C-alpha cells in the first residue's frame, strides 16, 4: 500500500557504529555494509522509501561519506533530491533541522519521513501500510512516531508508553517516552500491553516540525538556519557552512523536540524491525539454525550452540569448535571473540585500541575513495603492496609524491596511465614504473572495474604524501 500523501524521506546517514566493530568503524560505518542480505543497510533504507508515493530522498551525511552515498544510490538507479554535508557530527536534531529548512524553501507543507539509514525492516509492505495510516494524522498537523510491538523484554531499546493498551493499527496518543529499562522493568512492560519499542522514525509536515523546533529548541534554529543559508554547492552536494554549524548544540531530536512536544501520535508496526544495535541483534536477524548458530562467509561450526560466526575477508576460513553463546567476527586486520552477553560492551574494546594507537579502532581495511577503493596487502619497512580497484570511467587525481616511488601491475581491465607528459594504455599483465617525484595519474577508460597491484618503495608511505594538481572530486 503506497502512502496517501507524497512523502519526502530524510535519511540520516552519520554515526560511527562502534557497537558492530570490527565490521563497522568510523571510516566505514555499518550502514554501508551488507550485514543482512546482499544490499547495504543504507541501500535497503533507500529502497523502502522509493517509488510510488515518495519524492526524492534528502540525505544528511558527513563529508567523508558523500561519495559512498552517491555511489551506492547510483548502483540502485536512485537519484537523491539533495545530499547535505555536515561540517561536523552534531547528533540528529541539527541534522534533521537542516533538512527541514532546506525542504521548506520550496515546499513548507511537505510531508517528511525522518529515518535512520541503518535499520532493518523485513516487511516493507507492512511499513508502507503504517505510513499510509500515519499520513492522515500528519495531514492534521500532528507529529507521528512508529512503535514496534515487542516480542521480548528488550533492554537495548527505548520504549513508547501509550495512553491505553495497544489494540489497533490506528494512530494512538503517546503518553511518554521511556528510557532503556533494566531487565525486570522490561519484563513488566512486556506484560502490561501498552508499551512499544521506540523505532526513532517520525512523520509530519515540515511546518509542523519547524514550529516544534521554534517552541522547544529555539536556540538551535539560528545557527542551523545560517548554516543552510550560507551553504555552498560542491559537485552536486550542499556543504553546510561550518562557522554557524559549530554553534549548534550536539543533541538528539528526541531530547531536543520530541520528548517536549505535546500530543504526539504513535502508529503500531509489526514488520520485522531492528536497529541492529549490536552483534546479538545481528545474530537474531540472520536467522539462527536449530542449534542457535548463525554464520556468514567461509565458516564451519562444529558442536556449537547459540553462536554467531562471520568470516568477512577473502580467503579466510573461520572454524568454531564447541562454542556456546559466543560471537566470532573475523576481518582481514582484526578478530573479535566475545561471549554473546557482552555484545553491548564493544566500546571498551574500541577504547582500548584507540588508547594503544591502533588504526583498527577507526579505520576500515578497505579505504573507500570517490573513484573506488584500495587495501594494503603487505606493509614492511620502506615498502608497501596495495590492491587498487578503480570504477569504470573513474580517475585518480593528477598527483606526485615526495617520499616514494611506485610500480603498477594491471591484473584486471585496462588502465590509462599518465607519467609526466606521456600517456599510455596498460593492459592485464603489463606494468609501469612511477619514479619518485613524477607527476602521474591512473584512469579506467573501460566499462568494467580495473584492478592493479601497486608496489610502493620509499622512506615514508603515508597517505598524506600526496600533492594533488588536478582532481575531479574537489579534494585538496
pLDDT of residue 2: 54
Answer yes or no: are the C-beta atoms of 199 and 269 closer than 8 Å. Answer: yes
pLDDT of residue 286: 95
Q: Measure CA of the first residue to CA of the last residue in the chain; give whole Å.
A: 47
- Asked if the 7-274 domain carries CATH number 3.90.550.10, the reply is yes
Q: Can you read off the three cell numbers belonging to residue 438?
A: 613524477
Q: pLDDT tens digits for 256-292?
A: 999 999 879 999 988 889 988 899 999 999 999 999 9
Q: What percent of the chain has pLDDT above 70?
A: 98
Burial environment of residue 236 by CB neighbours within 10 A (0 to 12, 13 to 18, 19 or more): exposed
Topology alike, domains 7-274 and 366-470: no
Classify domain 366-470 by CATH number.
2.60.120.10
Closest among 74, 12, 1, 87 to 393, alpha carbons compared: 74
Q: pLDDT tens digits for 414-427?
A: 999 999 989 999 99
Domain ranges of the chain: 7-274, 287-355, 366-470
The DSSP letter of residue 44 is H
Phi-psi category of residue 430: left, alpha or beta, with phi > 0 → left and psi -120 to 50 → alpha = beta
* 356 confidence band (pLDDT: 50, 70, 90): very high
pLDDT of residue 405: 96
SS3 at position 132? helix
Give the DSSP H/E element, type plus range, for residue 242. helix 242-245
**Cis-peptide, bond into residue 22, ω within 30° of zero:** yes
Q: pLDDT tens digits for 177-186?
A: 999 999 999 9
- pLDDT (average), residues 436-450: 95
Give the DSSP H/E element, type plus range, for residue 69. helix 66-76
Q: Can you read off the three cell numbers belonging to residue 210?
A: 519547524
Amino acid at each position: 500500500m503506497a502512502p496517501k500523501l507524497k512523502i519526502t524521506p530524510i535519511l540520516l546517514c552519520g554515526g560511527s557504529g562502534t557497537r558492530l566493530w570490527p565490521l563497522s568503524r568510523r571510516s566505514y560505518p555499518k550502514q554501508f555494509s551488507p550485514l543482512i542480505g546482499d544490499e547495504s543497510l543504507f541501500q535497503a533504507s533507500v529502497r523502502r522509501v522509493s517509488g510510488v508515493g515518495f519524492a526524492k530522498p534528502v540525505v544528511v551525511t558527513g563529508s567523508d561519506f558523500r561519495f559512498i552515498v552517491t555511489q551506492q544510490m547510483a548502483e540502485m538507479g536512485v537519484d537523491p533530491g539533495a545530499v547535505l554535508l555536515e561540517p561536523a557530527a552534531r547528533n540528529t536534531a541539527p541534522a534533521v533541522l537542516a533538512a527541514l529548512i532546506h525542504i521548506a524553501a520550496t515546499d513548507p507543507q511537505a510531508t517528511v519521513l525522518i529515518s535512520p539509514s541503518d535499520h532493518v525492516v523485513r516487511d516493507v509492505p507492512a511499513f508502507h501500510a503504517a505510513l499510509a495510516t500515519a499520513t492522515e494524522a500528519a495531514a492534521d498537523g500532528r507529529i507521528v512516531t512508529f512503535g514496534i510491538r515487542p516480542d521480548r523484554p528488550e533492554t537495548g531499546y527505548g520504549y513508547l508508553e501509550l495512553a491505553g493498551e495497544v489494540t489497533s493499527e490506528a494512530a494512538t496518543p503517546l503518553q511518554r517516552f521511556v528510557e532503556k529499562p533494566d531487565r525486570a522493568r522490561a519484563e513488566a512492560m512486556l506484560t502490561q500491553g501498552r508499551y512499544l519499542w521506540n523505532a526513532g522514525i517520525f512523520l509530519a509536515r515540515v511546518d509542523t516540525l519547524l514550529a516544534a523546533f521554534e517552541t522547544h529548541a529555539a536556540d538551535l534554529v539560528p545557527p542551523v538556519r545560517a548554516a543552510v543559508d550560507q551553504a555552498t554547492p560542491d559537485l552536486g552536494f550542499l556543504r553546510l557552512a561550518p562557522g554557524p554549524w559549530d554553534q549548534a548544540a550536539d543533541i538528539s531530536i528526541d531530547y531536543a523536540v520530541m520528548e517536549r512536544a505535546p500530543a504526539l501520535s504513535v502508529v503500531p508496526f509489526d514488520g520485522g524491525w531492528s536497529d541492529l544495535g549490536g552483534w546479538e541483534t545481528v545474530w537474531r536477524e540472520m536467522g539462527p539454525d536449530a542449534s542457535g548458530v548463525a554464520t556468514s562467509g567461509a565458516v564451519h561450526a562444529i558442536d556449537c550452540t547459540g553462536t554467531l560466526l562471520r568470516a568477512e575477508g577473502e580467503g579466510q576460513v573461520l572454524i568454531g569448535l564447541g562454542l556456546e553463546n559466543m560471537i566470532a567476527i573475523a576481518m582481514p586486520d582484526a578478530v573479535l571473540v566475545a561471549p554473546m552477553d557482552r555484545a553491548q560492551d564493544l566500546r571498551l574494546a574500541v577504547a582500548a585500541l584507540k588508547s594503544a594507537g591502533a588504526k583498527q579502532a577507526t579505520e576500515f581495511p578497505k579505504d573507500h575513495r570517490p573513484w573506488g577503493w584500495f587495501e594494503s596487502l603487505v606493509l614492511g619497512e620502506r615498502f608497501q603492496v596495495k590492491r587498487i580497484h578503480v570504477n569504470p570511467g573513474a580517475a585518480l587525481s593528477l598527483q606526485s609524491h615526495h617520499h616514494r616511488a611506485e610500480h603498477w601491475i594491471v591484473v584486471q581491465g585496462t588502465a590509462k596511465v599518465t607519467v609526466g607528459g606521456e600517456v599510455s594504455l596498460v593492459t592485464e599483465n603489463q606494468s609501469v614504473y612511477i619514479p619518485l617525484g613524477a607527476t602521474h595519474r591512473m584512469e579506467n577508460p573501460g566499462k568494467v572495474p580495473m584492478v592493479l597491484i601497486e608496489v610502493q618503495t620509499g622512506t615514508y608511505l603515508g597517505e598524506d604524501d600526496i600533492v594533488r594538481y588536478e582532481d575531479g572530486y574537489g579534494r585538496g
